Every structure is written in C-alpha cells, then in structure tokens.
Amino acid sequence: MREKIPMSAPDLDDSDIQAVLEVLRSGRLALGPKAIEFENLMAEYIGVKHAVAVSSGTAGLHILVKVLEISEGDEVLVPSFTFCASVNVILYERAKPVFVDIEPETYNLDPEDLERKITKRTKAIMAVDVFGHPVEWDEILRIAEKYNLKVIDDSCEALGAEYKGKKVGQFGDCACFAFYPNKQITTGEGGMIVTNNDNIARIARSLRNQGRGEMGAWLYHERLGYNYRMDELSAVLGVSQLRKIETFLEKREKVANMYTEKLRKCSWIRPPIVKPYVRMSWFVYVVTLEKGLDRDKVILEMEKRGIPARGYFSPIHLQPYIRKMLNTKEGMLPITEDISKRTLALPFHNNLTEDEIEEVVNTLKEIIENM
Ligand SMILES: *Cc1c(COP(=O)(O)O)cnc(C)c1O
C-alpha cells in the first residue's frame, strides 16, 4: 500500500529554491563563497570558532578520526545504539570500536559503563547525541579528562540541542553535524565539522580538500586527503535552511508534544524522556513498547494501513559485518539489546498536522489493542 503519511520530509520553500537557482545561474558550483558563508553562519549559530563544511556527516566524522590520529591499536568508546556511521569511521582507520551500553531513559551513552570499559588502549570517546537528546556531557567530559581521552561529538542528529544552556557542538574536542534530508535542516547530502581548536580546523580543511595546504598550490599536496568538499548548491541551501532553524525546531517540538499528549493514556507505550536541563532538538519521534509486544508485527500492521514506522536503532554490534569483524554477540549490551527490540520511530517532520498525528496514534492503538 502507498504511504499516506511520509516517515520524514524536508521543509523546503520558495526561498530555498530561489537560493539554489541563483547559484546555478552564477555558474560557480564549487569552491565558492556560499560554503564560506554557510560555515560562518554555522560557527556563529553553534558558538564556536571554526566550522568546516563537508560532503556528508560520515565524511566529517571520518576526517575527525583522522585529525585526532586515531589508528590501528587504538580503542574508541562508542554506543552500539546509533547509526552505523559513528562506528564505521573508526573501522576505516583500523581502530577498534568498544561498544558502551546506554542509559535506559534517554538511550544515550551510559557514563558508568563508559568508564568501566576504559583500558590502556582507549584513545577516544565517540559520543552520540541520539535522536537529538544531548549525552550527559558533564560526566562524559569529566571521565575524558580523568583518563586523558579525546572526545568527538557525533552531533549529526542534534543541531540546535542544548545541554545546561550550551549548544551541542561546543562540547568535546570537535563535533560534526549532518544535513541529509531527514535531519533538522538539509543540504541534500552534507555535513559540518565544528571546533574551537585551530589545529583541528586547519587539518580538517586540508583533509577534505585532497590534502592541500592552506596556502599551497592546486597541485601541491601536504598529506593523504580526500574529496570531502561541500558544493555550492548544497551550501546555499544550507544557508537558506539555517536561517529558519529556530522555526524548524519549534515546529518539531510542537509535533513531538502533540504525539506525547495523544499517547499519554496508552499504558503500553513509553513516550520519549527529556532531561529537565536539556533542550531537545527533535530528530525523530521514538516510542518504546511495553515488554512482550511484538514490535515487528506492529510495524508490519502499520505499513499495511499505509503508515510507515521503523525499528530504530538496530544495534550496530549485532550487524552481520560487525559480528564478522569484531566477533560481537548477543548478550554484550543488555540495555541496548532490550530497548532496541521495543523502540518504534513514528512518522515525523516539521509539517505533520494534528489530524495526521491523530491518525498515526489511532492506528497504533487499534493494532496494539487487538494483539
Ligand atoms: C545521520 C547521521 C550521521 C551521518 O550521516 P550522513 O548520511 O553521512 O550525513 C552520522 N551519525 C548519526 C548518528 C546520524 O544519525
């Protein structure tokens, strides 16, 4: 059956389209002023010294792993309850991901389990602000300092989120945002590294641009680099979208609150929990089903009725390629494994209407009450 309500959708208007058309008409499609404008706007918005535009969130995280010289023999603490990219960028450099379990409320890195898994080889923490809820930064940074660990923030799901009044992206050594069309703002494909560290920014700029030096000639390469640049069409769309971020975040919060309100009376579901000192930047709306309910059957029945829903996340340590590479198995991360069998992402985007939300919730009720 065709989907009546999309799982996610970008929020694009005429100003976005006009902005992209102008760049097309200018003829300057790469290495131009729009990427610089987007970087400046982003640095100002997050409240950091540097922003480096890249071709995707994954590309940005890969650059950060390289910049921090994480390599073979190094261990990196990372959640399994995340998108595969957080883990893949560690594997690209032949370092070892060490999976950490999650807090049962926010589904973010559990600082206690994190500290327990530190060894002599631990070099860094890849923290992930899952679903747009900041990790417990005070604790994570305290542990990082105590054991002298580097910290990368995979903030790809958390543009605009705040922890104790400070925007995510300011924490740790460096962070990276992503702009795939289901994120808070989109550039099509795209990402942005942010940091207060001059050296990290300088090397990141070189790595995304084939290893060229800042002042070097076009065919002079200082190091092994990549083509991870952001093009001008994406960048101008980013500028146009970032100007609307506050409206976007408010719309998303409104949709999330409507869902929570309508689900309040359903005892078999747990809406998302947001810590009181956090500003959530809603990326997806994920509920947790009561133990014993067949989540996958719920998804199937929803889809039959034209309403998409996803199991979100599926743990990375149980993915076929990770089992093969790292010999990981079921039982390693009890909370991650329990939660991930019961989580359900519902359709979520800026312009979901109250009627649509009502329809999703009623469909969900009807299915579960007849199971
Ligand atoms: C979206 C996302 C990324 C990066 O995704 P790209 O598609 O490469 O932009 C990385 N980590 C997490 C947790 C994400 O949700």
Averaged pLDDT in 10-residue chunks for the chain of 371 residues: 85 98 97 97 98 98 98 98 98 98 98 98 98 98 98 98 98 98 98 98 97 86 97 98 98 98 94 98 98 96 95 96 98 98 98 97 95 89
Report CA(150)–ligand 1 centroid distance (Å): 20
Cβ of 347: how many Cβ atoms within 10 Å?
Answer: 25
Look up the pTM and report it.
Answer: 0.97
Q: Is 264 exposed, middle or buried (0-12, 13-18, 19+ CB in 10 A)?
A: exposed
Report CA(188)–ligand 1 centroid distance (Å): 13
Which residues, 6 or more positions from 319, have their beta carbon under 8 angstroms from its beta carbon? 84
Beta bridge partners of 212: 221
**Ligand 1 atom closest to 191 (CA):** 9
Cβ of 297: how many Cβ atoms within 10 Å?
Answer: 12
Distance CA 327, CA 346 (A): 32
Nearest CA to ligand 1 atom 5: 57
Distance CA 290, CA 344 (A): 11
Distance CA 166, CA 111 (A): 20
Distance CA 193, CA 66 (A): 13
| Positive or negative torsion for Cα 333, 334, 338, 343 | negative
**Ligand 1 atom closest to 283 (CA):** 15
**Ligand 1 atom closest to 56 (CA):** 9
Distance CA 127, CA 140 (A): 8
pLDDT tens, residue by residue, 53-111: 999 999 999 999 999 999 999 999 999 999 999 999 999 999 999 999 999 999 999 99
Whether 156 lines ligand 1, by a CB cut-off of 6 Å, is yes
Report CA(134)–ligand 1 centroid distance (Å): 15
